Amino acid sequence: MEITVNDITSVDKELIISADREDLEPKFKEAYKKYRGQINMPGFRPGKVPIKIVRKRFGDEIEQEEVSKYVQEVFENEVVPEYEPVGESEMLELNWENDELEAKFKIGARPEFELTDLSEVGVDRLVHDVTDEEVGEELDRQLKQQGNWEVVEEEITEDNRVTVDAIPLDDDGEPDEENKTEETIDLTQEESEQFRDDLLGHEVGDEIDVEIGHDDHTHSFKLNVKKVEKLHKADLTDEFAKEASDGEAKNVDEFKSLIKSKIQDYYDQSADDLFKNDIIDSLVDKHDFDVPEVFKKQVQNQYVERVKQQSQGQLPPDFDEEEYKENMEDRAIRDAKWFFLNEKLQEKFDDIEIKPEDIDQHLEAEASRYGISVDQMRNMFAQNPQQLESLRNSIREEKVFDRLKDEVNIKEIDKETYQEKHDEDIEA
């Protein structure tokens, strides 16, 4: 048996496993013995079919199966420990002809690169302290949400909700009464903008002609105003505060600080996510190395799997898998690069360790997210070692980010500057 490796690129290799009958004969003999006991042939007692006959009748199938098993064994026991392939190795060919075996694989090798000086990596970090104004806006939104609509006999203003009969007009401008529908238009909402100018200043009983534009054509309607309503916001009382916060806040002041802390949490979490994203982008930009083709494909396949999971286990009917993978190629290369960078960073920060309390903390968070007890969550993970491993990986990654915060050059910027930069990036 011989293993030869040819370089396709610095990270993509072609690996050939070659062997002859001599290498495989012991496996074949064993297989024939095994199948002899299982084959039922008229004229023979079970297990008494001569090996010669088994070989003649079922030889090809048995040998082909054994050849596949042999190749798999060699790959697992010899190739994996020696060459440490990354990604899903691809079998290109498997030939068993004239007592000669040749199995060709495309494997990925771990890219070789040096980590750059992390202090040279600069990343912006969004820092935003929630203002009283933002708290006020949120409070106002909640008061409106809990408020009541009261029918008024006034001219329509921007704060009103209007109920109309919408009658489509045909090409000659004649109303089509059969297709009349009742519509409620909330003028405080952005999506009602197209009606706003037409409706303002009118009152109940008025008939208004409107045109609604769609891409390259328009629809004409006659609107009969039936009802005008005005929003009465809910009163900001201690009672309201208790109800809206599910009892968490006892009075208005507590409710305000609760809102503030929630918005602050939201900003901190978003800032953290954006920071992680930015740091990955910066590190990927700073390191120039190739990723193995098979690894990139594996990442693309994971994306497709994710789409599948999101649409109840099946790809949408009009989903073009190849096109999707092509569109996601840059993203896949970025994620693949981050995988190797993350590995390198874990090597660098070799004192990172996962303590039981880290796992407990994550289990608690997961449990509260799914609304089950921590013990139930623990059992779920215990039954699924793969899931536990992925949890460990995500904790490890989290700790890498924590360490990166100390190592890279962070420039704190406010919300507006961050937004400007973000918009510039998108434009670029």
Partner 1 sequence: MKQVLKKPLITEKLTRLQEEGKYAFKVDKHASKADIKQAVIDRYPEVKIKKINTMIMPSKPKGRYTQSGYIVGREKVWKKAIVTLKEGEIDFFSEI
Taking the C-alpha atoms of residue 12 and residue 297, their distance in angstroms, rounded to an integer, is 12
Taking the C-alpha atoms of residue 313 and residue 306, their distance in angstroms, rounded to an integer, is 9
For CA atoms 221, 225, 227, 233, the dihedral sign is positive
Contacts with partner 1 in 9-68 (CB under 8 A)? 41-45, 48-50, 53, 56-57
Residue 42 vs 205, nearer CB to partner 1: 42
Smallest separation, CB 32 to partner 1 (Å): 15
Interaction pattern, residues 329-368, with partner 1; x per rule: CB under 8 A: ----------------------------------------
Residue 43 vs 213, nearer CB to partner 1: 43
- Residues forming a β-bridge with 166: 181, 223
Burial of 310 (0-12, 13-18, 19+ CB in 10 A): exposed
Does residue 227 touch partner 1 according to CB under 8 A? no
Contacts with partner 1 in 186-225 (CB under 8 A)? none
Residue 29 vs 48, nearer CB to partner 1: 48
Smallest separation, CB 45 to partner 1 (Å): 6
Structure tokens at 172: 């000659």
Taking the C-alpha atoms of residue 139 and residue 141, their distance in angstroms, rounded to an integer, is 5
Smallest separation, CB 89 to partner 1 (Å): 36
Smallest separation, CB 44 to partner 1 (Å): 5
Residue 55 vs 405, nearer CB to partner 1: 55
Total residues at the site for partner 1 (CB under 8 A)? 11
Burial of 163 (0-12, 13-18, 19+ CB in 10 A): middle
H-run or E-run covering 369: helix 356-370
Residue 29 vs 52, nearer CB to partner 1: 52
Residue 43 vs 313, nearer CB to partner 1: 43
DSSP letter string over 259-319?
HHHHHHHHHHHHHHHHHHHHHHHHHHHH------HHHHHHHHHHHHHHHHHHTTTS--TT-
**In which residue are the tokens 């060709």 written?**
104
* Cα–chain center distance at 14: 32
Q: Do you know the residue count of the chain?
A: 428
Residue 57 vs 262, nearer CB to partner 1: 57
Smallest separation, CB 83 to partner 1 (Å): 42
Smallest separation, CB 55 to partner 1 (Å): 9
Residue 216 φ then ψ, to 5°: -115, 5
Residue 64 vs 314, nearer CB to partner 1: 64
Residue 57 vs 422, nearer CB to partner 1: 57
Taking the C-alpha atoms of residue 357 and residue 375, their distance in angstroms, rounded to an integer, is 14
Smallest separation, CB 62 to partner 1 (Å): 14
Smallest separation, CB 59 to partner 1 (Å): 9
Smallest separation, CB 46 to partner 1 (Å): 11
Where does this chain bind partner 1 (CB under 8 A)?
Answer: 41-45, 48-50, 53, 56-57
